[in-house]
Each structure stands twice: as C-alpha cells, then as structure tokens.
Amino acid sequence: GEPIMPTRTVGFDKVQRKLKKMSKAVDDMDDKTLMKVTGEVRNRIVKRTMRGRDSDMKSFKPYSTDYSKFRAKKGKKTGRPNLVMTFAMLGNMSFKKIRGGSMIHFTSTAQNDKAYWNQQSREFFGLSKHNHKYVLSELRKPVVKAMR
C-alpha cells in the first residue's frame, strides 16, 4: 500500500493555552470593568440628551406650543428640547450590576414614569451606534489582552 504520512500537531498546545487565557479573561471580567463601561454609557446618554439629541443622534422634535408657554412661565428655555426642567429625571438615572451583566435604570418610580412618557415621543433612553461600538470595544479589551 501507500506509505502513511506521519502527522504532527504543531503549536496546538500554545493555541489551547491562549484559548484558556481568553476564556479566563471573559470569566474574570471584573465588576469594575463592567460598571465602568455602564457608568460611561449612562453619562453619554445624559450628555447627549442634554444636547437635545435622541439615541440616533437626531434632534428631538420641538416642544408643543402649550408646553413651550408653560416652560416660558417657569423661566426655562423653550428652544431645542433637552428633557430637562429640573434635572430630576436625568439625575435619577443610575446603573447597577445584575446577574449576567449590568442595567441602566431610574431608581425613582416617579422619574421612571416620566422617562417612560418622554421615551414615547423622544427616544433618549438607548444607545447610539457610536456607543454600541464603545461598549463592544471596551468589553473586548480583556479578551484581546489575553490573546497576546
């Protein structure tokens, strides 16, 4: 018969060690990293909203005439909406660790209800494409580092 070509696995043990390191990096992703990223996303949502932009980076639709009059009587700006009358709602936005990840939320029922109402007409509570990329990039770092 034909001669059997001897086979040799080259570097498999090295690949296996790298895979174990990557797996450990994902498993060991500490709460500190996750919470740092979640906190940054929360801050980005607040800043973007205060600039009058929704989660797609589009300007919020204008205030209704009646609401503009109400704001004017309170001495508040009536131009581009930014969902800030007293900062109570945006200031109440918080984040916490949950099983399997983290969550951005409103700690007060009243502010959560206000956010829900605002979200119906001005989608502020979400991630822009840029923020999606930021989250993925930051969470990939420990894995990429482990691959080296």
Question: Lowest mean pLDDT: which of 24-33, 41-50, 78-87?
Answer: 24-33
The DSSP secondary-structure symbol of 128 reads -
The mean pLDDT value for 55-64 works out to 93
* Tally of CA atoms within 13 A in the half-sphere of 25 that contains its CB: 17
**146, pLDDT greater than 80:** no
Q: Global pTM?
A: 0.75
The DSSP secondary-structure symbol of 59 reads B
The pLDDT of residue 10 is 52
Alpha-carbon gap, residue 74 to 141, rounded angstroms: 47
Alpha-carbon gap, residue 111 to 116, rounded angstroms: 8
Residue 44 CB partners (closer than 8 Å, separation 6+): 128, 131, 134
The pLDDT of residue 95 is 93
Confirm if 126 and 9 have CB atoms less than 8 A apart.
no
C-alpha pair distances (Å), 11 with each of 18, 24, 73, 145: 11, 20, 74, 20
To the nearest 10 degrees (0 to 180), the angle between helices 12-27 and 129-147 is 130
The mean pLDDT value for 6-27 works out to 61
